[in-house]
Structure 1
Amino acid sequence: MKKSILIIGTVVLSILNSHATSLTSNLNTTTVSVNITNENLVKIYDWKVETNKGVYSGTSHSVENAKRMIALSSSGEIVRASKIESYFVLKVEAKNNSKRNYFWEVETATGSAKGYSSTEAYAHKMMQLVASGDVIVSRKIISQPQQ
């Protein structure tokens, strides 16, 4: 019974999130000018891991963090392939979280749910809503740039 409620709740909240609109439009036309110099660049690491249950990917600020995210996202699964690529981006863009998607997954004692959100705070809120009243066994939040 709880599993059905969790699944139905996840579907309803996902549909509501995908159809949500904002009545106010942000007409911010401010242009930020940044010189492309070594001081304004930061190295970012994209990671991807393919397991027997799926493919997970994300972005990290260090190789160690990328390796840790690969280990976390593939725990309990058979790793088929993994890859870490580095590239340079402007510090301003690396700190801008408004253009990211957040994949979240929560597993409780009675079931599991997963979905996407536009902010990390919303991902945490969704996990709390879905798992309310149940013991959380594991949870994941993986961010990636919007494409």
Structure 2
Amino acid sequence: MKNAKQFHKHLININNVCKKSLLVIGTVVLSILNTHATTLVSNFNTTTIHADITNESLIKVYDWNVETNKGSYSGTSPSVEDAKRMILLTSSGEIVKASKIESYFVLKTEAKNNSKRNYFWEVKTVSGYAKGYSSSKTYAYKMMQLVASGDAIVSRKIISQPQQ
């Protein structure tokens, strides 16, 4: 009986040592990985490109802004109808204090370049609410799925706008 108790204490001691060893090993590994982590260095393109600006190379885009009782939202749309639809979507269920749509011309190449856009995402679930910014539409969807994992999504929005 005495040997069984001693053996049991010995097993508990070994278990505690293993836990501490794993914790130390994990800390060392994460420290090494963290010290070897690097950030992406951006190489700025300093070359000048001359482009002839003609009517065919320009496109009209619409910058919209809506202020509600819960906050303000803004974005860029390719048409007036799309801008009005986005104002209705973002302000649904809220009291609209002011809204504005302005048009301006940009180069077609800049308007279609999605690498220079920010994506605002917003998701409401049965148990909560979250919002944030992403650098790509795919990442915005992933963030919404991550936030709402295991919960029923009530509503979700993704709004893109050019980086400024």
Q: Report which structure shows greater RCO (CA 8 Å, sep ≥6).
A: 1
Give the Cα separation in 1 of the matches to 2:125 and 2:106.
38
Report the 3-state secondary structure (helix = DSSP H, G, I; strand = E; otherwise coil) of the residue aligned with 1:139. Answer: strand
Calculate the aligned-residue CA RMSD, in Å: 1.9
Q: 2:130 aligns to what SS in structure 1?
A: strand
Structure in which a larger fraction of residues adopt helix: 2
Deviation at 1:32, TM superposition (A): 4.6
Question: How does 1:12-91 map onto structure 2 within 5 Å?
Answer: 22-23=39-40, 25-26=42-43, 32-91=49-108
SS state of the match for residue 93, structure 2? coil
**Which residue number in structure 1 is paired with residue 113 of structure 2?**
96
The CA distance in 2 between the partners of 1:122 and 1:30, in whole Å, is: 31
What is the aligned residue count? 128
Q: Which residue of 1 aligns with 2:20?
A: none
Offset at residue 24 of structure 1 (A): 5.4
Q: Please state how far the C-alpha of 1:22 moved relative to its aligned partner.
A: 3.9
Query: Which one-letter code corresponds to 2:162 in the other structure?
Result: P
| Structure 1: distance between partners of 2:49 and 2:115 | 16
Larger Rg: 2
Name the CA distance, whole Å, in 2 between partners of 1:44 and 1:72. 19
TM-score, with normalisation over the residues of structure 2? Answer: 0.72
* Superposed displacement of residue 33, structure 1: 3.9
In the alignment, what sits opposite 1:122? 139
Superposed displacement of residue 98, structure 1 = 1.5
Aligned-residue identity in percent:
79
Letter aligned with residue 112 of structure 1: Y
Deviation of residue 77 (structure 1)? 0.2
**Match for 1:66: what amino acid?**
A
Report what 1:136 is aligned to: 153
Distance in 1 (alpha carbons) for counterparts of 2:100 and 2:118: 20
- TM-score normalised by L of structure 1: 0.80
Three-state SS of the structure 1 residue aligned to 2:141 is helix
Q: 5+ unaligned residues in a row in structure 1: which ranges?
A: 1-19
Give a deviation string over 1:71-114, Cα, whole Å, max 9, x none: 00000000000000000000000011112211111000111111
Partner of 1:107: 124
